[in-house]
């Protein structure tokens, strides 16, 4: 039996703390702090923190300051 491609689940992308820090221009400790404070949604896999791109985007959207020239 052959499955349609739409039935195959899309792989979940998880970003490492270092990846998140590099994208935002902050240090790893800042990302860990945001996670521990509950500001940045994350997933804990055993003893490792991972962030989905969607959660990172939501975090950034919530922190945007409106630009008023």
Domains assigned to the chain: 12-63 (1.10.1660.10)
pLDDT along the chain (69 residues), means of 10: 66 94 96 95 94 94 69
Residues of 16-46 as b/e, b for ≥16 C-beta within 10 angstroms?
Answer: ebeebbeebeeeeeebbebbeeeebebeeee
Residue 4's pLDDT is what? 60
Model confidence, pTM: 0.76
- Three-state DSSP class for residue 50: strand
């Amino acid at each position: 039996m052959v499955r349609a491609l739409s039935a195959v689940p899309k792989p979940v992308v998880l970003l490492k703390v270092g990846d998140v820090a590099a994208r935002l221009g902050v240090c790893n400790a800042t990302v860990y702090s945001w996670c521990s404070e509950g500001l940045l949604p994350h997933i804990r896999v055993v003893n490792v923190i991972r962030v989905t791109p969607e959660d990172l985007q939501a975090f950034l959207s919530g922190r945007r300051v409106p630009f008023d020239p």
